[in-house]
């Protein structure tokens, strides 16, 4: 693995890279930058969004252009206004120490004369959407006759959106001898044709395989009856309290309907589709970026160019018509080195499409069960407990403390905690205690009805555990499963139903292994801190071991010493993370709950 210095970038760029906090080049940067710096060549790069491709073409372009000249030397074409602005911003940041650099973004929906004025001041680099670029060329507002470097970014998307004619027209106004760098997530025939037509013996690099999904994203599917789709969506959101997601629907109508329904049910959601005005779309995107919206419901077209790095989950409310589109959807998560989950809610008639997608993305889906009510309640409760534990005390409360103390004079600590949590929990519990099992077995029937059709109750041969490590400790379900198998020296299938949440997780083993698991984790340290494993209340996909209900509480009491010790290093980290990331959903909505279901509506 090289460093940015070893890739041959100049000091101005290295300085900016340090400011940006990039430690090492990403794969596409490592592959593309030396080629583009060392030779005057055309390039075809197959890379997903979120892999750092803007810098892969941006650094070489910035290094090669002459900032002392006012002539336009670099042209970057991108499919959407969103992406265009994002690229222009990134280029400005990368080039912030390149004195005299002027990067101008031109795109539809904004004043064309203002943009023309900016170009006239001398833009060495123009980042443009094809439609507006063509318009400005025909009105002689830009001169791209001396371009040396042109980039076709997200070429597959541009062609999907019908920009082929525009691109052809734009490129006909550029010099023959320029270099063209084409970046695309997938390589459909149309892209290959463009590459052939406009490029001269391009070098090729591939990050991952063609059409392949990034390895940072895990793929899951959930089989439900079509009429339960919406309930399934809610449960998947509720089972992941820190979710920051894009939900994809097939039509504008469904997108609007699902978003409205989520809002009505108390979720912080927003719709993004083509029937909204540009202004409305900008507002929604702004709220999503600021994390005021936790769930963005979008159509494929409107979601093009969503460049938000922290998306934790992509939920395919419905599968796309074109299977290839799945790659684009899932590529919205797992960006910038982070991990992500792409979930698909399918009905029986669609399940065969999963196999086709697996072939295209060359990754396997895991079939999972929609979490049951008890599991969701436990996840939410523990998430709330974590949040409270990590909350900075507001000392404005101090002056009211004696009155509050007076009120609770006769309430012991356990009672107080229970009351405090019940404020949120009871409503949530009430909502879910009568919820049905949504899972459909492969033969088309409901999943095992374990408790008269309810998700609560029931017995099984397996034990569900809670463990106090999660994705914040760099675990995903595969890593946690491997970790447990290795530590406990268990066989391949001995650990199952592993569910990794933010700061804690769940897993199952057969009942016979319970004593071994609990004994092993009595005093176990991982990376300097105590790992706590307890029998969980919920069954994981519908299992619960009622005999263990009391035990868990006892364990927690007995684990006080461990809990104190584990709290320090870990929870400081948690606090830092939560400050930066989560704007409480309830802050301005009037919904004072982290728990969403406000109505007992199912
Ligand atoms: P892109 O694929 O260009 O949209 O980049 C996705 C995100 O990764 C952007 O927010 C970049 O700022 C960030 N990024 C690009 N290169 C690196 C790097 N080498 N290290 C860390 N983050 C990066």
Whose tokens are 């970026």? That residue is 289
Identify the CATH class of 217-372.
Answer: alpha beta
Q: Any idea which fold 5-206 has?
A: Rossmann fold (3.40.50)
**Distance of CA 167 from the midpoint of ligand 1 (Å):** 26
Of 26, 307, 332, which is best to mutate to test ligand 1, by the most ligand atoms within 8 angstroms of its C-beta?
26
Residue ID of nearest Cα to ligand 1 atom 20? 22
Report the alpha-carbon distance of residue 283 to residue 271 in Å, rounded.
Answer: 11
**Distance of CA 378 from the midpoint of ligand 1 (Å):** 36
Query: Contact 147/75 with Cβ under 8 angstroms?
Result: yes
Residue 334 Cβ inside 6 Å of ligand 1? The answer reads no
Please give the structure tokens belonging to residue 109.
Answer: 């929906």
Residue 3 Cβ inside 6 Å of ligand 1? The answer reads no
Q: Any idea which fold 455-580 has?
A: Alpha-Beta Plaits (3.30.70)
The reported pLDDT for the residue numbered 299 is 93
Report the alpha-carbon distance of residue 220 to residue 541 in Å, rounded.
Answer: 14
The reported pLDDT for the residue numbered 78 is 93
Q: Which helix (H) or strand (E) holds 511?
A: none
pLDDT per 10-residue tile (average), the chain, 602 residues: 87 94 91 94 87 94 95 94 91 95 94 95 96 95 96 88 89 94 85 86 78 71 92 94 93 93 90 89 91 93 79 94 84 79 92 88 88 88 87 91 91 90 81 82 51 39 89 86 89 82 88 90 84 77 35 33 33 30 29 37 30
The reported pLDDT for the residue numbered 142 is 95
Rg from Cα positions in the chain:
27
Residue 53 Cβ inside 6 Å of ligand 1? The answer reads yes
**Distance of CA 21 from the midpoint of ligand 1 (Å):** 10
Report the alpha-carbon distance of residue 95 to residue 593 in Å, rounded.
Answer: 44
Report the alpha-carbon distance of residue 359 to residue 365 in Å, rounded.
Answer: 11
Residue ID of nearest Cα to ligand 1 atom 19? 25
Residue ID of nearest Cα to ligand 1 atom 11? 52
Residue 48 Cβ inside 6 Å of ligand 1? The answer reads no
The minimum-distance atom of ligand 1 relative to the CA of 307 is: 4
Please give the structure tokens belonging to residue 579.
Answer: 């400050």
Domains 5-206 and 217-372 share a fold: yes
**Distance of CA 120 from the midpoint of ligand 1 (Å):** 30
Phi, psi of 293 (to 5 degrees): -105, 130
Give the Å distances, CA to CA, from 44 to 25, 51, 52, 72, 165: 19, 15, 15, 23, 20
Report the alpha-carbon distance of residue 77 to residue 86 in Å, rounded.
Answer: 12
Please give the structure tokens belonging to residue 244.
Answer: 């920051």
The reported pLDDT for the residue numbered 552 is 32
**Distance of CA 381 from the midpoint of ligand 1 (Å):** 35
The DSSP output letter for 265 is: T
Exposure string of 7-30, with b = 16+ CB inside 10 Å and e = fewer, is: bebeebbbebbeeeebeebbbbbb
Residue ID of nearest Cα to ligand 1 atom 6? 50
CA atoms lying within 13 Å on the CB side of residue 164: 12
Give the Å distances, CA to CA, from 527 to 292, 411, 507, 548, 570: 34, 38, 20, 29, 11
Q: How many helices (H) and strands (E) does the chain have?
A: 22, 20
Please write down the HEC assignment for all residues of 508-565.
Answer: EEEHHHHHHHHHHCCCEEECCEEECEEECCCCCCCCCCHHHHHHHHHHHHHCHHHHHH
The reported pLDDT for the residue numbered 336 is 67
Query: Contact 295/261 with Cβ under 8 angstroms?
Result: no
Residue ID of nearest Cα to ligand 1 atom 8? 336
The minimum-distance atom of ligand 1 relative to the CA of 24 is: 19
Report the alpha-carbon distance of residue 300 to residue 325 in Å, rounded.
Answer: 8
The domain ranges of the chain are 5-206, 217-372, 374-432, 455-580
Residue 79 Cβ inside 6 Å of ligand 1? The answer reads no
Helix-helix angle 189-198:164-171, to 10 degrees = 10
Q: Which residues contact 464 (CB under 8 A, 6 or more apart)?
A: 497, 506, 507, 508, 535, 536, 538, 539, 540, 543, 544, 545
Q: Which residues contact 402 (CB under 8 A, 6 or more apart)?
A: none
Beta bridge partners, 463, equal 509
**Distance of CA 457 from the midpoint of ligand 1 (Å):** 47
Report the alpha-carbon distance of residue 488 to residue 494 in Å, rounded.
Answer: 10
The minimum-distance atom of ligand 1 relative to the CA of 47 is: 2
Predicted structure pTM score? 0.54
Q: Nearest CA to 294 among 319, 273, 315?
A: 315
Residue 336 Cβ inside 6 Å of ligand 1? The answer reads yes
């Amino acid at each position: 693995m090289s460093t940015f210095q070893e890739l041959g970038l100049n000091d101005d760029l290295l300085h900016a890279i340090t400011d940006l906090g990039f430690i090492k080049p990403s794969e596409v940067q490592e592959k593309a930058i030396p080629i583009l710096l060392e030779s005057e060549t055309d390039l075809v790069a197959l890379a997903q969004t979120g892999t750092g491709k803007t810098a892969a073409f941006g650094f070489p372009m910035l290094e090669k252009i002459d900032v002392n000249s006012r002539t336009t030397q670099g042209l970057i074409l991108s499919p959407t206004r969103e992406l265009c602005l994002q690229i222009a911003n990134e280029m400005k940041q990368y080039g912030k120490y390149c004195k005299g650099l002027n990067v101008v973004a031109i795109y539809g929906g904004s004043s064309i004369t203002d943009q023309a004025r900016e170009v006239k001041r001398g833009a060495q680099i123009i980042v443009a959407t094809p439609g507006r670029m063509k318009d400005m060329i025909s009105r002689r507002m830009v001169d791209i006759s001396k371009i040396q470097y042109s980039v076709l970014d997200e070429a597959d998307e541009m062609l999907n959106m019908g920009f082929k004619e525009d691109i052809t027209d734009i490129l006909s106004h550029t010099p023959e001898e320029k270099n063209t760098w084409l970046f695309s997530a997938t390589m459909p025939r149309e892209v290959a044709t463009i590459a052939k037509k406009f490029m001269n013996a391009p070098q090729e690099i591939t990050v991952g395989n063609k059409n392949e999904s990034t390895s940072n994203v895990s793929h899951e599917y959930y089989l439900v009856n079509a009429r339960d789709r919406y309930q399934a969506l809610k449960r998947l959101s509720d089972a992941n309290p820190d979710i920051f997601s894009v939900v994809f629907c097939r039509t504008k109508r469904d997108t609007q309907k699902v978003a409205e329904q989520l809002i009505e049910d108390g979720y912080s959601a927003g719709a993004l589709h083509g029937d909204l005005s540009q202004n409305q779309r900008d507002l929604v995107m702004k709220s999503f970026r600021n994390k005021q919206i936790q769930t963005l419901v979008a159509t494929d077209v409107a979601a093009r160019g969503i460049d938000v790095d922290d998306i934790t989950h992509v939920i395919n409310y419905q599968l796309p018509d074109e299977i290839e589109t799945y790659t684009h959807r899932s590529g919205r998560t797992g960006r910038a080195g982070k991990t992500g989950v792409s979930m698909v809610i399918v009905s029986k008639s669609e399940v065969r499409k999963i196999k086709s997608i697996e072939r295209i993305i060359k990754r396997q889906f895991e079939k999972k069960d929609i979490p049951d009510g008890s599991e969701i309640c436990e996840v939410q409760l523990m998430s709330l407990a974590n949040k409270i534990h990590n909350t900075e005390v507001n000392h404005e409360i101090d002056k009211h403390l004696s009155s509050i103390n007076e009120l609770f004079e006769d309430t012991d600590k356990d009672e107080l905690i229970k009351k405090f949590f019940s404020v949120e929990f009871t409503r949530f519990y009430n909502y879910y205690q009568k919820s049905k099992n949504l899972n459909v077995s492969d033969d088309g029937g409901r999943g095992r009805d374990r408790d008269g059709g309810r998700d609560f109750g029931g017995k099984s041969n397996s034990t569900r555990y809670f463990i106090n490590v999660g994705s914040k400790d760099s675990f995903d379900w595969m890593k946690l499963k491997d970790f447990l198998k290795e530590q406990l020296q268990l066989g391949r299938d001995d650990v199952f139903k592993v569910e990794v949440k933010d700061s804690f997780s769940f897993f199952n083993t057969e009942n016979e292994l319970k004593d071994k698991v609990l004994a092993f984790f009595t005093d176990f340290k991982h990376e300097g801190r105590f790992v706590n494993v307890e029998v969980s209340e919920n069954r994981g996909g519908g299992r619960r071991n009622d005999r263990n209900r009391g035990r868990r509480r006892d364990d927690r009491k007995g684990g006080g010493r461990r809990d104190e010790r584990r709290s320090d290093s870990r929870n400081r980290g948690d606090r830092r993370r939560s400050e930066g990331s989560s704007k409480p959903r309830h802050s301005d909505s009037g919904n004072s709950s982290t728990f969403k279901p406000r109505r007992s509506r199912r």
